[in-house]
Amino acid sequence: MDKRRVYLENYGCQMNEADSELILGQLTSTGFQIVPEAKEADVILLNTCAVREHAEQRIYGRVAQLGKLKNRNPELLIGICGCMATHLKEKIIQKSQLVDLVIGPDSYRRLPEIIEKAVGEPFVDVRLDKYENYADIRPVRAEGVRAWVSIMRGCDKFCTFCIVPFVRGREHCLPLDQVLEQVKEAANEGFQEVVFLGQTVNSYRDKEKGVKFADLLEQASKVEGIKRIRFMSPHPIDFDQETIEVMKDNPKICPQVHLPLQSASNAVLDKMKRRYTIEFYDELLQRFREAIPEIAVTTDIIVGFPGEEEKDYQETYEYMSKTKFDLAFMFKYSPREGAKAYNWGDPIPEEEKIRRLEGIINLQEKISLENNQNEVGNITEVLVEGEAKKEEGHWFGKNPQFKTVVLPKDGTKPGEFVKVRIERGTPHTLMGEVVR
């Protein structure tokens, strides 16, 4: 049989991006050819998200579009990978007869044989494996300046709104040596920035070596060639003072932290099973800001959670007003079958959820604009990434706080670090001139 040609599309979070690179690594190592367009492929894989229902509906719409290619080539295989696969299992094939294979996040090692089995009839493999960490599979990383390194898989938190533990399994960490080997490989491939990934990344442990997350950050910073280290997405209760001190004292670890809040109401936090109070969260946030004054803090917010009253929403609104996050990812509650909160229904009317969401979005836009305008006149170091989308003749890149900076090309090129004096700020972008 000739080499099968595979086209892969990625949807969702950074964990999915890292998983897509693993999928490509596994397929290329077993003789598959990766193609850049769906029309060239014998196998089309969609690596999916299941955090919100909208993400799943988007995938069904994309499969319907790809059906035109299948009409022209009946032997074309279409596969659904990732969290949606584990969440819906056989229901995907029942809903869309265009889908031939359904593969969960712990089944990518078996992808080559699954593809062959799906030639005859639809095939589903969504088994969870608490020992699978893909440590021996070399990812095929996308071109760019940033390498994703998954240091753990799964989650043990079981927040009541979330299905991640059910679609990605329980928490298990890669051994330290294997993580550092991936960091060294990324450096050898020319990447200057690594991002450690995990559902609760700061709960990382290598129990055999007695290594905690702070130790991992310290060890990774010693890898030659790596100039920046970031991590996503931590859980507030898993931070310790040691991690804050390492971030404070080590210039390679970027002054940026994503600190998911979800709600500033203790009643809602308790119902979400977040395991912290707003007082705990705020004290942690202040410790970060006192230790690292230049730190950028981003967060996640959910409005309209079952039982959230107007006073609970106002507590969140007022806390955001006071705290002035640099950026917030804000959502209205979406029931997910399988999560505990699904059994509580969706009692808050849609129009009320939209009102609350629009309220905090408008607030955060003003705060982000104010924060970014306060950067005018400052000089920041930018790792240039590529063409700016809206400004012709300009590059974009990220500064240590992970803020997007747009700058004239002016003799610079992607992969370079340049100093930029900020001249203008919008809610989402800083713009400036290169400092010679």
What is the rounded distance in angstroms from the CA atom of residue 292 to the CA atom of residue 248? 6
Mean pLDDT of the chain: 94
Residue with tokens 């894989």: 45
- Whether the CB-CB separation of 6 and 41 falls below 8 Å is answered with yes
Q: Does one domain contain both 57 and 104? A: yes
Residue that finishes a domain, picked among 234, 254, 274:
254
Burial class (CB in 10 A: 0-12, 13-18, 19+), 65: exposed
Tokens at 38, concatenated: 């769906």
Is the CB of residue 152 less than 8 Å from the CB of residue 327? no
Cα–Cα distance, 78 to 115 (Å, whole number): 10
Q: What is the CATH number of the domain that holds 422?
A: 2.40.50.140
3-state class (DSSP) for residue 326 = coil
Same domain, 116 and 185: no
Position 291 in a domain: no
Q: What is the pLDDT of residue 208?
A: 92
Task: With CA atoms as reference, report the closest residue to 268 among 192, 369, 367, 159.
Answer: 159
Residue listed under structure tokens 């991992």: 216
Q: Do the Cβ atoms of 295 and 324 come closer than 8 Å?
A: no
Q: Give the full edge-to-edge strand order of the sheet including 327-332.
A: 256-258, 296-303, 327-332
Residue 193 in domain: yes
CATH at 171? 3.30.750.210
Question: Dihedral through CA 205, CA 206, CA 209, CA 214, nearest 10?
Answer: -40
- Say if residue 199 is in the same domain as residue 88: no
Clarify whether residues 114 and 36 are in a common domain. yes
68 and 106 part of one domain: yes
236-272: pLDDT as tens digits: 999 999 999 999 999 999 999 999 999 999 999 999 9
The share of the chain scoring above pLDDT 90, in percent, equals 88
How far from 220 is each of 32, 149, 194, 329, CA to CA, in Å? 32, 11, 9, 28
Is 104 within a domain?
Answer: yes
Both tokens of 36, joined, read 């850049």
Please identify, among 254, 280, 297, the residue that sits at the C-terminal boundary of a domain: 254
116 in a structural domain? yes
Q: What is the mean pLDDT of residues 362-374?
A: 98
Is 95 in the same domain as 206? Answer: no
DSSP 8-state class, residue 80: E
pLDDT, mean of residues 182-195: 96
Range of lowest pLDDT (135-139, 208-212, 401-405, 412-416): 135-139
CB-facing half-sphere around the CA of 146: CA atoms within 13 A: 20
Instruction: List the one residue out of 51, 125, 44 whose CA is nearest residue 89.
Output: 125
Q: Is residue 316 one of the residues assigned to a domain?
A: no
Asked whether residue 273 is domain-assigned, the answer is no
Structure tokens at 137: 């599979």
- Give residue 220's pLDDT: 98
pLDDT at 1 over 70: no
On whether both 213 and 148 belong to a single domain, the answer is yes
Pair 27, 112 in one domain: yes
Can you tell me the distance from the alpha carbon of 42 to that of 110, in angstroms, rounded to the nearest whole number? 18
Per the domain annotation, does 354 fall within a domain? no
User: Tens digits of per-residue pLDDT, 13-51?
Assistant: 888 899 999 999 999 999 999 999 999 999 999 999 887
What is the tens place of the pLDDT at every residue in 146-160? 999 999 999 999 999
Confidence band, pLDDT 50/70/90 cuts, at residue 328:
very high
Residue given tokens 């080590």 in the structure block: 250
For residue 134, tell me if it sits in a domain.
no
Q: What domain range is 92 assigned to?
A: 5-125
Domain-terminating residue out of 215, 235, 254: 254
CATH code, 56: 3.40.50.12160
- Based on the fold, state whether residues 91 and 194 are members of the same structural domain: no
CA angle 321, 326, 331 (to 5 degrees): 75
Sequence-ordered strand ranges (E) for 129-266: 146-150, 152-153, 172-173, 193-197, 205-206, 211-212, 228-232, 256-258
Question: Total structural domains in the chain?
Answer: 3
Report the percent of the chain where pLDDT is more than 70.
Answer: 99
Q: What is the pTM of this model?
A: 0.90
Distances (CA, A) of 156 to 172, 191, 200, 298, 371: 9, 31, 9, 23, 35
Q: Which of helix, strand or coil describes residue 434?
A: strand
pLDDT the model gives residue 177: 96
pLDDT in tens, 214-240: 999 999 999 999 999 999 999 999 999
Mean pLDDT lowest among 13-17, 49-53, 206-210, 428-432: 49-53
pLDDT, residue 183, reads: 97
On the question of pLDDT at 344 being above 90, the answer is: yes
SS3 content of the chain, % helix, strand, coil (to 5): 40, 25, 40
Assess whether 145 and 247 both reside in one domain: yes
- Together in a domain, 120 and 153: no
Q: Is there a single domain that holds both residue 9 and residue 120?
A: yes
Q: Pseudo-torsion of CA 340, 14, 208, 242, nearest 10°?
A: -90
Residues 130, 154: contact at Cβ < 8 Å? yes
Residue 2 has pLDDT above 70, yes or no: no
Decide: 144 and 395 in contact? Cβ < 8 Å: no
